[in-house]
Structure 1
Amino acid sequence: MTERLAPPAGIDPMDLVDGSRFASRGYPHAVWAQLRAEAPVCWFEPEGWTPFWAVTRHADIQLVAKQPDRWSNEHGLIIMPAGAPIQPSDMVVTLDPPRHGPMRSVAIRRFTPRAVRERHAEIERITTQIFDDVAAEGLEEFDFVEKIAAPLPIAVISWILGVPSTDWQLLFRWTNEIIGKDDPEFRREGESPGETLRRARGELHAYLGELIAERRTNPGDDMVSHLIAAEIDGQPLTENQLLNYVELMVEAGNETTRNAISGGLLAFSEFPDQWARLLADPGLLPTAVEETLRWVSPIIHFIRYTKVDSEIHGVPIPAGDNVAIIFASGNRDEDVFGDPFAFRIDRSPNPHLAFGFGEHFCMGAHLARVELETVFRHLVDRLEWFELAGPVERLSSNVNGGIKHLQIRGAVR
């Protein structure tokens, strides 16, 4: 039997898995820093959770992410409660080669830099309307997430998918419930997290099923119509594959970008000198976006399942073990980033892991960058001043680094 390397004394395994601690304390950066220094690959057995290896260094995360022949996506993506069933899925993000490549290829052409550039005008229009609406209200204090960070991503991804604007808030509610199932704010009274997840996914899939049926009859130039027409080895996608693909796009296109926007504004409030730099030199927007992604790390971790006996950083990893690659820790790795706990909008190079690494690198990365750059350009142009007006309310999750509410005082012109 393999002897597994335990974490250093004094580290509480629950700090890595308890979503309520992420909500009340933010990311456990001190814990991750200690692990990077003392035990960059070590075994955790949190009470009530499936055991896993925590991988905290940038290079080791890349090692795991780029070897799907050794570490699989097909046994679940996140650290799970003990005894939770692993449901087989044909979502592209849960597939290994050789199934992954063909499934990814049916959508990737719609997210290339060129394809995203063709959407600039609509993204600009949506962003302008959001800021115009806030300015028209004349508010001196408002929830930045509710008014700016949340409306843009759900509007953009819904427009790309071809969802009528009257239904955007439905998708927003369902994705909040699916992603935020562990947070009491997003659960209905009396529901368990599992019940919330099953209900919200069921309602979302019922809606998407109707949308897919309508597009089979009346196809357009939207992503849903494109997926319906796509083929893999001469065969169209199954109904389940279509539902899962569109669900993934709704969730990924909404949640992570929203959290990067709100987390970015929070970073600027904590580093006002960097906000002043951006106001003085908007040409720093591209590197400011990359630093925001590194700093916020909207996806905290993903799980990989060890298919064959392997080794990470000199530590033997037996086949059958789960490995958690903690992107948010890798993005503070002292061996990669100089002064990693400083938010510096001119940081370059910036090889962050916010979009993952390897063949599962986020296909919506170009779109997210454009949305972030657009919204921050509008903030530079139209937010005369701002300051925090209350405590930061974070999502209860060990996977999605989310800010639910960010109350600010400010003037949008």
Structure 2
Amino acid sequence: MKTQVTGSRPDGAPEFPLDSIDIISPDHYQKNGYPHAEWTYLRKHHPVFYVERPRVDPFWAITKAADLKEISCQPRLWLNGPRLAVFVLDEGADGLPPELPLRHLLNMDPPQHGEFRSILSQYFTPRSIRALEPDVANITAQLLDDVMDREECDFVTEISSKVPVAVIAEMLGVPRKDWPTIFRWTNEIIGGGDPEFQRGKDANETFAQARMEMFQYFTDLVEESRKHPGRSVTSVISNAKVNGEPLPALELLSYLLLLVVAGNETTRNATSGGLLALIENPEQFRRLKSDPTLIKTAVEEIVRWTSPVIQFARTAASDTVVRGQKIRAGESVCLFYPSASRDEDVFDEPFKFDVGRNPNPHLSFGIGEHFCLGANLARLELSVIFAQLAKRLDHAELAGPVERLRSSFVGGIKHMPIRYKLKPA
């Protein structure tokens, strides 16, 4: 017989039983957003918490920043490969989700991870990324110009989703006519469990179809890049070698897929969530508009506040202990990044949105060897976008309900209608 343990929510809502606490259901995330009340309680009382739920492989929930850092910085003890993240099996689906037919940085362990990461590491340094600033600024300005004479728009579909997909597509050498297709594939790969993006009977079928189409598309691009090498990221990866050998087809195509998806989804959702935070905290928006020097700290606060990647999993290579709790070899932990970025032991007033917060040691880009390869690019894009919004956006308010993605992996906003007034560039 299970013991019913209950805890009071920080928001004063009724108590809840821990044996049914919901921190992983995609339906919960779509309906309610991030479960910050539950994470707050777990951080205080059960920071290493065993979760057994229907249609989910059991896992240990890690909610404290210190534990997340410790696990992330021991890649030989805590493996990426066996389990990328915690996923919930859709109702009616047969069996557990199959292993994803991908081999990329997110599910590689040492030494292979370092060998593959080094292929592009020089292209994502702060110095290399700064060269993209004029292009990002032009793309952003044009998108704002396109909606300047209107009073309402869907900020996600018309602004925040278009900047990162344009930037990463340019870097990859994808022709402009194919950008909408690239954008559709990213929605289907990340949001295949959402009815709006689903093709086929379930998320797995949607993912498989999008993956196959994207692989076919990039196979042609890779072939062209090998015949006529250029400066695009696709050409660099296509002609790269690891241990003296060209990249195998699965690893090469998986690398490109990861760049497309990660280069689009995280920045898009940080942008959408960032504007939502500024609308909900108008005093902070006024502060940012009156002091442009706050852009850098504002971007870090937006990334902390939104934490677009919700979780990744790690699997113990041997028996170990986390915060006094024994975890056996083969058991998985789930690292909840938004919880770590609200940790009371790290942040003063963690539930206050503060565009001037400094220091801001958030973990939303990860930490350790799997620290986000594209973090510098994301920071540049967000800096440009919010600098232009601070200059040009006189006023903004919600013009309808915010629709969230049905996902417990990426915290996405699908639609955010706003009413606004924009100034010319």
Same fold (TM over 0.5): yes
Pick one of 306, 309, 314 that aligns with 1:299. 309
- Contact 2:337–2:363 (8 Å) recurs in 1: yes
Q: How much does 1:8 deviate? A: 5.4
SS in 2 for 1:325: strand
Residue pairs, 1:222-241, within 5 angstroms: 222-241=232-251
Aligned mates of 1:117, 1:193 — CA distance in 2: 37
Corresponding residue of 1:76: 83
Aligned-residue identity in percent: 46
Aligned mates of 2:23, 2:221 — CA distance in 1: 39
Aligned mates of 1:333, 1:345 — CA distance in 2: 18
Aligned mates of 2:159, 2:129 — CA distance in 1: 21
Structure 1 unmatched ranges of 5 or more: none
Corresponding residue of 1:216: 226
Structure 2 unmatched ranges of 5 or more: 8-16, 90-94
**CA displacement, residues 131-153 of structure 1 (integer Å, 9 cap, x when unaligned):** 12222xx2101101011100000
Q: How much does 1:284 deviate? A: 0.2
SS in 1 for 2:82: coil
Corresponding residue of 1:23: 30
Are the structure 2 counterparts of residues 87 and 140 from structure 1 closer, same or farther at C-alpha, using a change threshold of 3 Å?
Answer: closer
Q: How much does 1:90 deviate? A: 2.3
Aligned mates of 1:306, 1:89 — CA distance in 2: 21
Q: How much does 1:412 deviate? A: 2.1
Structure 1 counterpart of 2:178, which letter? D
SS in 2 for 1:323: strand
Structure with higher helix content = 1
Q: How much does 1:85 deviate? A: 2.8
**Number of residue equivalences:** 407
Q: Which segment drifts farther, 368-377 or 72-81?
A: 72-81
Pick one of 55, 58, 79 that aligns with 1:51. 58
Residue pairs, 1:206-355, within 5 angstroms: 206-355=216-365
Is 1:103 the counterpart of 2:116? The answer is yes
TM-score, normalization by structure 2? 0.93
**CA displacement, residues 231-278 of structure 1 (integer Å, 9 cap, x when unaligned):** 111112122221000000000000010000000000011111100100
SS in 2 for 1:106: coil
- Contact 2:189–2:206 (8 Å) recurs in 1: yes
- Contact 1:182–1:397 (8 Å) recurs in 2: yes
Q: How much does 1:15 deviate? A: 1.5
Residue pairs, 1:167-178, within 5 angstroms: 167-178=178-189
Is 1:144 the counterpart of 2:191? The answer is no
Corresponding residue of 1:187: 198
**CA displacement, residues 329-375 of structure 1 (integer Å, 9 cap, x when unaligned):** 00000000000000001111101111011000001000000000000
Root-mean-square deviation over aligned CA pairs: 1.6
Corresponding residue of 2:166: 155
Corresponding residue of 2:407: 397
Pick one of 375, 384, 389 that aligns with 2:394. 384
Pick one of 58, 71, 74 that aligns with 1:67. 74
Aligned mates of 2:4, 2:67 — CA distance in 1: 18
Corresponding residue of 2:366: 356
- Contact 1:6–1:44 (8 Å) recurs in 2: no
Corresponding residue of 1:198: 208
SS in 2 for 1:187: coil
Q: How much does 1:5 deviate? A: 11
Structure 1 counterpart of 2:181, which letter? L
